[in-house]
């Protein structure tokens, strides 16, 4: 293990222990579990959730929404990005729409989607709308900075459109996206759960968090948040192992 890596791990452990000590001290000073539950109470709630079989069904359905939103958003971003690159008029039409999605609060978008859609579909739609602008910008920016010499070469050698997309555009796009895919996945995860908190679908992490909040079970809320963090870390590592290099760029 490298010295720098060992040092980082030591610093992380020190910060973690310090955080737990401060947290424990605050919970004793406040002495109200509703406001600040102790680390022990949160750990107990976490273990209770992990021992419960229905909890895994809840996690599965939230992940189903997250993955569906992410895949559809990525596919649409690729298609829209390529079309916008080839047709500037499309790029100009998409600009105000994407700006609207970026500046409007997530809660406002969730409420609008709830008016137009069912509580079961709303979280996935919200996840799509939140992550699409990020992925689209990654795609279009990658295409706009393609080396002009490469484009000239495709014309000189009369490379077909299919091979241009397969061997030129897609590799450049995915290399350009790089680490933003992990960021996008984290964003869609948070957006879907936020949508679930407000729409209350039957089987969802957001619905479970809302239920714990109604029971004033703060330790339960924090336990679900810890589960979210763990799931997100695991999924990010899986994504990097599947296609990432040491710099976080996707292998293509």
pLDDT greater than 70 at residue 243: no
| pLDDT value at residue 248 | 47
Asked if the model's pLDDT at residue 142 lies above 80, the reply is yes
Averaged pLDDT, 6-21:
84
Listed residue (51, 136, 143) closest to 98, CA to CA: 136
CA nearest to 85, candidates 137, 30, 8: 137
DSSP state of 104: S
SS3 of residue 201 by DSSP: coil
pTM exceeds 0.95: no
Per-residue model confidence (pLDDT) at position 251:
53
pLDDT confidence bin for 221, thresholds 50/70/90: very high
What phi and psi values does residue 203 have, to the nearest 5 degrees?
-115, 100
Q: Hey, which bits of the chain come out as E strands?
A: none
Q: Give the position of tokens 């810890």.
A: 226
Structure tokens at 82: 């390529």
Backbone angles phi, psi at 199, to 5 degrees: -95, -20
Per-residue exposure over 133-152, b if at least 16 CB sit within 10 Å of its own CB, e if not? bbbbebbbebbeeeeeeeee
Q: What is the mean pLDDT of residues 166-178?
A: 77
Position of tokens 């091979």? 163
pLDDT for residue 219: 94
Whether pLDDT at 209 is above 90: yes
Please, which pLDDT band fits residue 102 given cuts at 50, 70 and 90?
A: confident
211 is written with which tokens?
Answer: 């239920």
Residue whose C-alpha is closest to residue 143's, from 204, 74, 78:
78
pLDDT of residue 13: 84
Taking a C-beta distance cutoff of 8 angstroms, is the pair 75, 69 a contact? no
φ and ψ at 172, to 5 degrees?
-65, -40
């Amino acid at each position: 293990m490298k010295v720098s890596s060992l040092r980082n791990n030591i610093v992380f452990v020190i910060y973690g222990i310090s955080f737990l000590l401060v947290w424990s001290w605050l919970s004793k000073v406040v002495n109200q579990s509703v406001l600040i539950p102790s680390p022990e109470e949160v750990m107990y709630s976490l273990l209770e959730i992990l021992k419960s079989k229905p909890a895994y069904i809840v996690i599965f359905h939230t992940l189903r929404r997250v993955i569906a939103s992410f895949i559809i958003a990525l596919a649409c971003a690729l298609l829209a990005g390529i079309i916008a690159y080839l047709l500037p008029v499309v790029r100009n039409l998409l600009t105000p729409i994407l700006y609207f999605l970026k500046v409007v609060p997530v809660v406002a978008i969730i409420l609008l989607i709830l008016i137009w859609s069912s509580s079961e579909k709303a979280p996935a739609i919200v996840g799509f709308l939140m992550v699409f602008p990020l992925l689209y910008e990654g795609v279009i920016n990658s295409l706009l900075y393609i080396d002009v010499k490469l484009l000239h070469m495709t014309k000189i050698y009369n490379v077909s459109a299919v091979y241009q997309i397969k061997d030129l555009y897609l590799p450049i796009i995915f290399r350009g996206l790089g680490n933003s895919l992990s960021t996008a996945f984290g964003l869609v995860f948070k957006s879907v759960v936020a949508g679930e908190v407000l729409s209350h679908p039957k089987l969802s992490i957001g619905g479970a968090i809302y239920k714990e909040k109604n029971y004033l079970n703060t330790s339960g809320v924090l336990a679900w948040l810890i589960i979210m963090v763990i799931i997100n870390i695991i999924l990010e590592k899986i994504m990097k192992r599947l296609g990432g290099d040491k710099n976080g760029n996707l292998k293509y």
